[in-house]
């Protein structure tokens, strides 16, 4: 009978790590499972705690001397640091020592040797600041008293606990025929991620501190706010199309998470993939298991609908009309078509396309009510607002949609229009300001904001 390896317990900041094993347990009780290689890396650093461990030593001890790419160890360290929730710029658990290696810090350490005295005084100051911050958070919401610092959500939505910026999926080989497919994956991704209540999702914010009308992310939310950038690239894999997603830290380009999505799997493959990303970020996954519609045309139409200008509305109308001609039994497409037609029915610039769309809608005899996802609520609200002038019902539907998907900028823009029809200019401006912060690319929001503020 082989002898079982003895267990050893290590304390790393708020975490407990028991070897042999691949799980770390937070002081608040939640458990995080590490990849086997990352667990082996952590165990090696624990055994040599306080020492600077070189890359060469890690290659021998963790990778058994195998030849590695230049990025293998930095990426592994980045994954471990992210799992621990440590800050690379002010490490309390895992430090990078330039040109030497990596060091798992002792509980009394706050940085690498040679600078310990300076950082001890900084730690005292940081402790005082933390006391003040947590006292303020406690006064705002006493329910946070039992949560760990890294799990606390600010009660003020203007100060999110975590931000993810998402860019449109790019086509790797420049094949323009693949752009509709890339847009569809982008919109489906945004649909899923906008429903995650524990983070703020911002579309197309490529420059974090650009001198744009909304201000840079770090300028607005503070340099300490965790911000991640999600990018996707559409590539060919044999006869199939796949999207390579990468989530990185824009401050230092460290890769936090990556995943491959096979496009032909649709939302049934995409949403679980993003679930692994949320797990990596220690955010609860959401219940949305599939999209309201899988067709490329539907997601292109939603994209152009949300641009909120007549030219884009005409493109969306053409997409939806083609979709309904090909498949009349699509409740989601029918609801979107009705919402689009209601919003743009009085605009002469898009009258021809809207009339053609209405002819297609009228040809559908059996009205079907789509599932109650946030898109269907937004579409119903648009119909109530523009066809019936029922602002009360529209606002109620939009508020319900935003409870399901706090990051739905289009719902916020419609809420602004509903508030304006009700005569509440201040609330209309506030709704549009939020919509523009979530989608800085939408010039229609910027223009509408300027119009409202001039009233």
Q: Residue 443 has what pLDDT?
A: 81
pLDDT at site 109: 45
pTM of this prediction?
Answer: 0.61
What is the Cα–Cα distance from 266 to 261, expressed in whole angstroms? Answer: 9
Beta bridge partners of 240: 237
Q: Cβ(166)–Cβ(158) under 8 Å? A: no
pLDDT at 378: 93
pLDDT at 3: 58
Contact between 435 and 416 under an 8 Å Cβ cutoff? The reply is: yes
| Nearest CA among 84, 86, 60 for reference residue 73 | 60
Burial class (CB in 10 A: 0-12, 13-18, 19+), 424: middle
Residue 233 to residue 168: CA distance in whole angstroms: 9
Domains and CATH numbers, the chain: 8-104 (1.10.10.10), 165-198+224-280 (3.30.160), 296-454 (1.25.40.10)
Instruction: Give the integer Cα–Cα distance in Å for 25 and 32.
Output: 6
Low-confidence ranges of the chain (pLDDT < 50): 1, 108-157, 206-215
What is the structure's pLDDT at 428?
94
What whole-number distance in Å separates Cα of residue 455 and Cα of residue 447? 13
Pairing relationship of beta strands 170-171 and 227-237 according to DSSP bridges? parallel
Question: What three-state secondary structure class fits 33?
Answer: strand
């Amino acid at each position: 009978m082989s002898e079982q390896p003895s267990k050893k317990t290590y304390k790393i900041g708020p975490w407990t790590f028991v070897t042999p094993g691949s799980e770390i347990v937070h002081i608040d009780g939640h458990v995080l499972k590490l990849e086997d290689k990352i667990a082996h890396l952590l165990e090696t650093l624990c055994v040599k705690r306080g020492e600077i461990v070189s890359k060469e030593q890690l290659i021998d001890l963790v990778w058994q001397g195998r030849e590695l790419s230049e990025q293998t160890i930095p990426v592994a360290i980045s994954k471990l640091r992210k799992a621990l929730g440590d800050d690379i710029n002010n490490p309390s658990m895992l430090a990078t020592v330039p040109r030497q290696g990596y060091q798992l810090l002792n509980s009394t350490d706050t940085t690498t040797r040679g600078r310990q005295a300076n950082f001890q005084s900084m730690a005292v100051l940081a402790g005082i600041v933390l006391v003040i911050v947590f006292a303020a958070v406690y006064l705002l919401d006493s329910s946070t008293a039992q949560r760990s610092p890294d799990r606390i959500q600010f009660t003020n939505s203007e100060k999110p606990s975590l931000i993810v910026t998402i860019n449109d999926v790019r086509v790797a080989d420049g094949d323009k025929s693949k752009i509709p497919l890339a847009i569809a994956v982008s919109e489906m991704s945004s649909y899923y991620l906008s429903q995650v209540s524990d983070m703020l999702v911002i579309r197309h914010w490529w420059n974090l501190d650009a001198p744009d009308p909304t201000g840079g992310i770090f300028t607005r939310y503070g340099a300490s706010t965790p911000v991640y950038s999600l990018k996707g690239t559409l590539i060919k894999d044999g006869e199939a199309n796949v999207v390579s997603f990468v989530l990185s830290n824009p401050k230092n380009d460290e890769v936090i998470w990556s995943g491959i999505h096979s496009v032909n799997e649709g939302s049934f493959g995409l949403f679980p993939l993003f679930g692994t990303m949320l797990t990596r970020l220690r955010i609860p996954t959401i219940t949305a298991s599939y999209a309201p519609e899988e067709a490329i045309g539907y997601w292109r139409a939603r994209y152009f609908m949300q641009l909120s200008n007549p030219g884009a509305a005409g493109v969306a109308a053409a997409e939806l009309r083609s979709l309904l001609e090909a498949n009349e039994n699509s409740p989601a497409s029918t609801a979107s078509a009705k919402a689009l037609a209601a919003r743009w029915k009085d605009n002469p610039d898009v009258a021809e396309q809207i009339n053609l769309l209405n002819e297609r809608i009228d040809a559908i005899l059996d009205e079907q009510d789509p599932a109650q996802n946030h898109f269907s609520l937004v579409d119903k609200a648009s119909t109530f607002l523009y066809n019936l002038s029922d602002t009360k019902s529209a606002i109620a539907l939009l508020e319900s949609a935003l409870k399901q998907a706090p990051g739905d900028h289009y719902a916020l823009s419609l809420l602004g229009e509903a508030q304006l029809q009700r005569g509440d200019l201040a609330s209309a401006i506030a709704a549009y300001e939020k919509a523009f912060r979530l989608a800085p690319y939408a010039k229609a929001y910027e223009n509408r904001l300027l119009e409202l503020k001039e009233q």
